[in-house]
A and B are shown apart, each in its own frame.
Chain A
Amino acid sequence: SQKIEQNSEALNIQEGKTATLTCNYTNYSPAYLQWYRQDPGRGPVFLLLIRENEKEKRKERLKVTFDTTLKQSLFHITASQPADSATYLCALDMSYSGGGADGLTFGKGTHLIIQP
């Protein structure tokens, strides 16, 4: 079955620097990959989606890359701010690659802390 690995250790970044989070997966590549933000006690909030034929996607201070050869996605937050502190989840959709159920497969998330 598909496994997703995100760094379980909290990531501490100085305010103003670029934060880079990693999502690695095993087995076959998904049709697309999504990144979500989750704050304590709240539901996940969709941030960005990147398809298997796309290398990079940007949205304001966010950038996502997708390397199907390395089976890896990188999530970047530039000019980071304390308000960016949260847990960031990577999610894969396997449905259109014949990979399985209709739901998304989520990683456990990486806790990002932006220090002032």
Chain B
Amino acid sequence: NAGVMQNPRHLVRRRGQEARLRCSPMKGHSHVYWYRQLPEEGLKFMVYLQKENIIDESGMPKERFSAEFPKEGPSILRIQQVVRGDSAAYFCASSTNRDSGNTIYFGEGSWLTVV
């Protein structure tokens, strides 16, 4: 079984451009999570989605960031008008459901560099 697939693995954007990060969950998983890892920082929860629904976006910055998980296709994390502070590793994770103790599986991450 393929794991959680993220692309691109590495992305370079100039300040002001848009970044789109894609995540295909593991087969059979309908729950997707996005996390951000800044240099020397821990993983920070951003958003939790199910198909066509945002369940919890309490960790998302209020501006420039958005996420979706359409009925068909991968989940997308979109960052508009990127700034240098957005440079980080963005990890997607998926799970089968949201039961207590359910394991989530991470992808290998997308490394965004803003120049």
The chain B residue with its CB closest to the CB of A42 is B108
Q: Which residues of B contact A107 (CB under 8 A)?
A: 42
Check A46/B42 contact, CB under 8 A, given A101-B56, A103-B33: no
Q: Please provide the chain A residues from 37 to 75 with a CB less than 8 Å away from any CB of chain B in the complex.
A: 41-46, 49, 51
A-binding segment of B11-19, B61-69, B70-78, B97-105: B97-105
Q: Which residues of A contact B48 (CB under 8 A)?
A: 101-103
The chain B residue with its CB closest to the CB of A43 is B106
A46 near B100 with CB under 8 A, answer no
Contact with B along A75-106 (1 / 0, CB 8 A): 00000000000000101010110001111111
For residue B106, give the distance in angstroms from its CB to the closest CB of chain A: 4
User: Is B25 on the interface with A (CB-CB < 8 A)?
Assistant: no
B100 near A106 with CB under 8 A, answer no
A103 near B42 with CB under 8 A, answer no
A89 near B100 with CB under 8 A, answer no
Q: Which residues of B contact A108 (CB under 8 A)?
A: 40-42
For residue A25, give the distance in angstroms from its CB to the closest CB of chain B: 13
Report which of B4, B35, B41, B108 forms a contact with A103, defined as CB distance below 8 A: B35
Report which of B56, B101, B109 forms a contact with A43, defined as CB distance below 8 A: B109
B45 near A105 with CB under 8 A, answer yes
* Highest count of chain A CB atoms <10 Å: which of B43, B45, B46, B109: B43
A44 near B91 with CB under 8 A, answer yes
Q: Which residues of B contact A41 (CB under 8 A)?
A: 108-109
User: Is A13 on the interface with B (CB-CB < 8 A)?
Assistant: no
The chain A residue with its CB closest to the CB of B91 is A43
For residue B70, give the distance in angstroms from its CB to the closest CB of chain A: 20
Q: Please provide the chain B residues from 12 to 63 with a CB less than 8 Å away from any CB of chain A in the complex.
A: 33, 35, 40-46, 48, 55-56, 58-59
Would you give 6 A-B contacts (Cβ < 8 Å), ordered by A? A43-B108, A51-B100, A101-B45, A102-B56, A103-B45, A104-B104
